[in-house]
Amino acid sequence: MGFALFSPSKEISFSSLESISQNKNLKHVFPKTFSRLGELNREERGDGVVKKGSVSSHLVRGHLEGSFVRKKQLKEPSTKLDFVRTLLIDNYDSYTYNIYQELSVIDGLPPVVIRNDEWSWEEVCHYLYEEKLFDNIVISPGPGSPTCAADIGICLKLLLECTNIPILGVCLGHQALGYVHGARIIHAPEPIHGRLSDVEHNASELFNGIPSGRNSGFKVVRYHSLVIDPSSLPKDLIPIAWTSSHETIPFLDGFEGQGDLNTYGKSLSTKLENGLQWHPAESQELRTRDILMGIMHCSRPHYGLQFHPESIATYHGRQIFKNFAEITKDHWSRLQSSSDSMRDFYRSARMQVSAVNQLFQEVARSKPLMNGFDNLKHVGLCNLMKSSPRSRFAKYLKLKWRKLECSANQVGGAGSIFSELFGSHCAENSFWLDSSSTEMNRARFSFMGGKGGSLWKQVTFRLSNKSYSNTTSGQGGYLSVGDSDGSVTNTYLQKGFFDFLNQELESICYDAADFDGLPFDFYGGYIGYIGYNLKVECGASLNRHESSTPDACLFFADNLVVIDHHCDDVYVMSLHDDDTGTTSWMDEVEQKVLSMKPHHPTKPLSVASGDVSPTQGFSAEKSRQQYIADVEECQKFIRDGESYELCLTTQMRRSVGELHSLALYLEMREKNPAPYAAWLSFPRENLCICCSSPERFLRLDRYGVMEAKPIKGTVARGASPEADELLKQRLQYSEKDQAENLMIVDLLRNDLGRVCEPGSVHVPHLMEVESYATVHTMVSTIRGQKRPDASAVDCVRAAFPGGSMTGAPKLRSMEILDSLETSSRGVYSGCIGYFSYNQTFDLNIVIRSVVIHEGEASIGAGGAITALSNPADEYEEMVLKTRAPTKAVVEYQSSILSIDDET
């Protein structure tokens, strides 16, 4: 079954729980930060398991008789609740807000979310027992082990002392329920992440209305490396669910032939005192052999589930949450005491929304910011995420636009238009969000522009050294703003770049009638990139590596050209800060475009592909041997429960000198078109970006609809149509690639769930294969309706960096990756796109890109590492992803040298 990670005889025990319960400051027992994995020496990790302080499991029922909770008697209602008030404990997981979304719909009210180290025990008791603000508690999944105090926080004490409050623990919460009552936590026979299993159960209340057994239609998604040892289960805990077989099921197979949903196991007998049914001895032996998937306490309303009911691919997940809500309602109904308490309860229930609002306002005032992410971690009954107040320097912008009397193809297409209008002087200070691949409606619009009107400016941000400190979680940095006249101002931003960007957008006033009739959502505003290191402004604790490129660089674009590739239309637009702005720029551009002669694009310069190696002249940051070793190290972390999936990356570099970057980009877009491609030129920073990204990070349209399109799963195209189709099908039905994709889909659902209306997050397209010039990729689409109180920048902060570039759980995974990678990702893994002045945005993931900075070209690549990964195959996949951009650089430079030799 595996070996014990922590057994009661080998644990490091803290002081008894009596002294803990009397201690008003629990920070020493439940610290606010866990041990930073990358900071531990190899000697400190025994047998591949990170040694961290653990909480004793000698916590038996009755141990705290006479404690505060025992003295406080709950006042319960006599009839069922109309709605349920849930306290949701977040164990720093990336799936917590999927549970939040489910409970918001089922309970009738959104739950209140707190981190597991956010409230003291005294605060918990006050809100649970004195204010009586919650009817039940849900404990989220999370990285690590319940044996580690920093991983589980206050959850063990909740499970011990809150004997009269219904509690549901998911994954880590399930393991905590077992551990706190004396069960051992051990390694599972095999780490299972993003994979499905058939589950059998004993028809307890939690599984009411849900089929049971193999091929019954009850298939669940599992994300875990650790399990409860069923042989150590104490008599107080009853097994209620277990795997039906040792085999996992690929997603596509798992969703076919579900069978009769009313099929139940018929071998139930022997009722216990509380009405629970128990399987006979034969089934008991089966449970010992299989993996425990669910437990319940024999006398308390406490339940645990090892699998993830909130996953998009778990069948009957919502029914489980509905059943828990019914268990909660029945529990309080049975425990009624008096009509006075009934009146008190309903008075409390009517006041609960305002009470919890007041609660969070008090907590917000008393607690410091957590990595600058305080506003988005408390998405609950209250509304903490207020938009920034309108600046007293608010500016009113007026948009003018026109559609030209010609089609884009009549004048040579987008490439010809960009080169004619903005290509002079090496296209300095220009941008081009280039939908160069529009097949299958993947993208529709291209936006281009350059240094222009009176509102144009370039903003450049670099994080301060505090963000790279092991002791200080800093997010401030230095902002440089250059205007069209060449003047530059420098400012230190204490609260960081996202706060600045939010205030900038919030300060703009406009008339929505200005853009009536336009089919796109960008009308001017900020356009550029946000680098990966800005993760410290989105919850990450620190950056281990400093970026050589700025951490963010954007233009404020007041003049731009838009191409509608579906209709072949060309638009010109100009922003002004009053109604008196002239149309001279639009007039000039219109005249230039209309005077362009129809012609075919110039054939890209190239040399025979056999003449040069695709990676000629590029030096890899890590050797094949080192990269494979890093993959194996990732798998050790995954086996120990520290992550479900780690998106490991590396870089390749080559000196290119004075390269004509625009010509290189034109070569790239011709040979490897992509729907979210981009060109950016920042000469003041000696920086150009040639991006051929096929992946959308996040979009927010004018109707408040958010969309993410993560890619996970990549394979090279075949040499023949038959071989190509075979490779495509192999990708589609690969259990490994399906698991990778599913993990990121659930992560993105979580990130959108932080800022979207309850119940609105959905997945219209799951695991679809898209084909590009050199690769097939597996893509999913997640959408949700933005909450009115969330700004555009709030939405980006909730999801940045893109989960497809981090893994899950995101925060712990980023720390592990920082400890393994040897340099900053810089622009790579960040995003490129726009923030329109009316607070829409569209951003890509920076992959398949060449970043040219100070005479050097760098290309980042990597892949998602899971328990199923083959290290050698992961290396080959990483190299595959660099092939197109490295080949473009090598062939372009070789062609230039050939021309020079001929002349």
Asked if 747 and 647 count as a contact pair (C-beta separation under 8 A), the reply is no
Domains, the chain, in order of start with CATH, read: 77-367 (3.40.50.880), 395-902 (3.60.120.10)
Mean pLDDT confidence for 179-206: 96
What is the pLDDT, as a whole number, of residue 251? 82
Q: Does 795 qualify as catalytic in the annotation?
A: no
Asked if 185 and 6 count as a contact pair (C-beta separation under 8 A), the reply is yes
Q: Does 566 qualify as catalytic in the annotation?
A: no
| Catalytic hit among 297, 308, 378, 565 | 308
Alpha carbon distance 265, 280 (integer Å):
12
What is the pLDDT, as a whole number, of residue 332? 93
Residue 611 has pLDDT above 70, yes or no: no
| Catalytic hit among 76, 161, 200, 310 | 310
Name the CA radius of gyration of the chain, rounded: 29
What are 698-743's pLDDT values in tens digits? 999 999 999 999 999 889 899 999 999 999 999 999 999 999 999 9
Residue 324 has pLDDT above 50, yes or no: yes
pLDDT band at 641 (very low <50, low <70, confident <90, very high): very high
What is the pLDDT, as a whole number, of residue 613? 59
Alpha carbon distance 877, 778 (integer Å):
14
Residue labelled with tokens 């993947």: 442
The DSSP result for 382-451, as a single string, is: S---PPPPPPTT-EE-EEEEEEEEEETGGGT-HHHHHHHHH-GGGGTT-EEEE----GGGS--EEEEE-S
Asked if 768 and 901 count as a contact pair (C-beta separation under 8 A), the reply is no
pLDDT band at 587 (very low <50, low <70, confident <90, very high): very high
Partnered with residue 762 across adjacent β-strands are 783
Among the ranges given (77-91, 119-133, 314-328), the one the predictor scored with the smallest mean pLDDT? 77-91
Nearest Cα residue to 27 out of 123, 168, 142: 123
What are 748-796's pLDDT values in tens digits? 999 999 999 999 999 999 999 998 888 899 999 999 999 999 999 999 9
For the chain, the first-to-last Cα distance in angstroms comes to 72
Backbone φ and ψ for 562, nearest 5 degrees, come out as: -125, 135
Tokens of 660: 């004509």
Alpha carbon distance 63, 285 (integer Å):
32
Mean pLDDT confidence for 261-267: 26
What are 408-442's pLDDT values in tens digits? 999 999 999 999 999 988 899 999 999 988 776 77
pLDDT over 90 percentage in the chain: 68
| Catalytic hit among 125, 171, 691, 831 | 171
Q: Which amino acid is at 712?
A: K
What is the pLDDT, as a whole number, of residue 405? 93
What are 491-528's pLDDT values in tens digits? 999 999 999 999 999 999 999 999 999 999 999 999 99
Beta-sheet pairing, 711-716 with 775-785: antiparallel
Share the mean pLDDT of the chain: 82
Q: Strands, E, within 336-388: which ranges? A: none
What is the pLDDT, as a whole number, of residue 599? 64
Alpha carbon distance 832, 818 (integer Å):
22
Q: Which amino acid is at 795?
A: C
What is the pLDDT, as a whole number, of residue 898? 57
Helix and strand tally (H, E) in the chain? 22, 40
Q: Enumerate residues 6+ apart whose C-beta is below 8 A from 894.
A: 607, 611, 612
pLDDT band at 893 (very low <50, low <70, confident <90, very high): confident
What are 825-848's pLDDT values in tens digits? 999 999 999 999 999 999 999 999
Among the ranges given (575-589, 672-686, 751-765), the one the predictor scored with the smallest mean pLDDT? 575-589
What is the pLDDT, as a whole number, of residue 619? 92
Residue 59 has pLDDT above 60, yes or no: no
Q: Does 308 qualify as catalytic in the annotation?
A: yes
What is the pLDDT, as a whole number, of residue 608? 46
Mean pLDDT confidence for 858-865: 95
What is the pLDDT, as a whole number, of residue 617? 82
Partnered with residue 775 across adjacent β-strands are 716
Rounded-to-5 percentages of helix, strand, coil across the chain: 35, 25, 40
Mean pLDDT confidence for 678-694: 96
Alpha carbon distance 804, 694 (integer Å):
13
Asked if 203 and 211 count as a contact pair (C-beta separation under 8 A), the reply is no
Q: Enumerate residues 6+ apart whose C-beta is below 8 A from 769.
A: 713, 728, 731, 732, 776, 777, 778, 779
pLDDT band at 97 (very low <50, low <70, confident <90, very high): very high
